[in-house]
Structure 1
């Protein structure tokens, strides 16, 4: 028997506060199948879905079968998001390398477009992961009234209310605020690595840099050559100059 979801009180976050906003470049772009005008728009929508779930998808991470179904209208955007979150790539990158609490946080950010309200919400959803598995947890997220009210069946999830009016800086993107690997996994994998530089880098103005043909460009090459010169001739100081110095003899004179 599955345990019921623990009740948690939503706190007043930015996405829960209604406001009048003027559309601009700093507002998140909404990708929906309701206003597609060309095939390229569908491609942009698919790329937006990959960025939201994976942040970046390599060629091996893509799901061509799901893409084909979405392009042909066989599945909705909501089903496409479900397929990406339940894919082997997402499982290996997020579920296998994190505990249940962090996995819940990652999924809530990417699927619902917001941060978790509190530690109580993490515990509530982690119990769902433990009792119903990953598929049951993702199905419950996508079937929630919060997801349907904000994204429905045709809108790609996005980070809601990231940019706030009247503030110079908004909230950080989820991929920066919550990286894929937790601290324990990062230490286990051996990064980040601290690299100590033994050479001090110096700035050289453009007018002082060596130009083409400058002998300074060949200094390192000349120093790398292992050129050896001729050894100096060894002379003996025991020399009889009177006898050894040649001289011309005149005929008839001895």
Structure 2
């Protein structure tokens, strides 16, 4: 059984109707379907959920593929699916997948986007991917984002392969889960293991476990044991995401995360 389904670029090549100056409808529908599939994580889109105005603007050349992708990301549908019902870590993790085609490489990248959301808001967080140099170099104005973390990329660490694999398991997979897949590995700067599709990197087995976080520079709080200039927290899996967010907000840096039980 294949563990990875390779994604390929889908682009609008500006084939036009010479009389009406509109994009070829067949080509347009391929692009629209690819954009919905990529940005919405393989979710089924009902006719009532489609962004008809944005599609119309793409059809008659008033907007680019990049701005159509932006419209999906800024839509109430995307917000409901991936922001309102997910942790902030999962939201950022999926934004990397949906808009850049890869997983976040390290805690610095995650922290930067968490800061963008907290200081500038939801729309600025979505824009930060599409307006980035990386997006422009990888996809430009006319190519739908696609999963590319499974191959070497200029300026992208090789650790991105395993991490992208953990959050993108091919066209049959879905992003419906609201549980972040990479919190422990990225925060602890440890390698991400590749597991068979039947298993999960953050499945029910982990929920019964507890984790010890060693943190540098964070403000003191309840249940904190001082170790020289660091602090140690013990949390359950369900508390892990919230605790990591609190550490970031307080200016702390995660030194290590170790499984306790």
TM-score, length of structure 1 as denominator length: 0.55
CA-CA distance at 1:163 after TM superposition? 6.8
2:70 aligned residue? 82
Residue of 147, 150, 157 corresponding to 1:159: 147
Q: Is the 8 A contact 1:162 1:172 kept in 2?
A: no
1:127 aligned residue? 115
| 1:35/1:171 CA distance change after superposition, 3 Å | farther
CA-CA distance at 1:27 after TM superposition? 4.8
The whole-number CA distance in structure 2 between the counterparts of 1:121 and 1:45 is 29
Residue of 163, 174, 180 corresponding to 2:168: 174
1:7-156 equivalences under 5 Å are: 27-34=6-13, 36=15, 38-54=24-40, 55-56=42-43, 57-156=45-144
Larger Rg: 1
- What runs of 5+ residues in structure 2 fail to find an aligned partner? 17-23, 153-163, 181-202, 204-261
Q: Is the 8 A contact 1:94 1:181 kept in 2?
A: no
CA-CA distance at 1:73 after TM superposition? 0.2
CA-CA distance at 1:62 after TM superposition? 0.9
The whole-number CA distance in structure 2 between the counterparts of 1:35 and 1:115 is 30
Cα RMSD (Å): 2.8
Q: Is the 8 A contact 2:81 2:176 kept in 1?
A: yes
The whole-number CA distance in structure 2 between the counterparts of 1:104 and 1:173 is 12
CA-CA distance at 1:136 after TM superposition? 0.9
The whole-number CA distance in structure 2 between the counterparts of 1:89 and 1:27 is 26
Give the 3-state SS of the residue equivalent to 1:34 in structure 2: coil
The superposition leaves residues 153-199 of structure 1 with CA deviations (integer Å, 9 ceiling, x where unpaired) of 110000015379xxxxx936626777333249xxxxxxx9xxxxxxx
| 1:155/1:91 CA distance change after superposition, 3 Å | same
- What runs of 5+ residues in structure 1 fail to find an aligned partner? 1-25, 165-169, 185-191, 193-254
Give the 3-state SS of the residue equivalent to 1:171 in structure 2: helix
| 1:136/1:180 CA distance change after superposition, 3 Å | same
Q: Is the 8 A contact 2:103 2:149 kept in 1?
A: no
1:243 aligned residue? none
CA-CA distance at 1:36 after TM superposition? 4.1
CA-CA distance at 1:142 after TM superposition? 1.0
Q: Give the number of equivalent residue pairs.
A: 156
| 1:46/1:123 CA distance change after superposition, 3 Å | same
CA-CA distance at 1:32 after TM superposition? 1.1
| 1:100/1:183 CA distance change after superposition, 3 Å | closer
CA-CA distance at 1:133 after TM superposition? 0.5
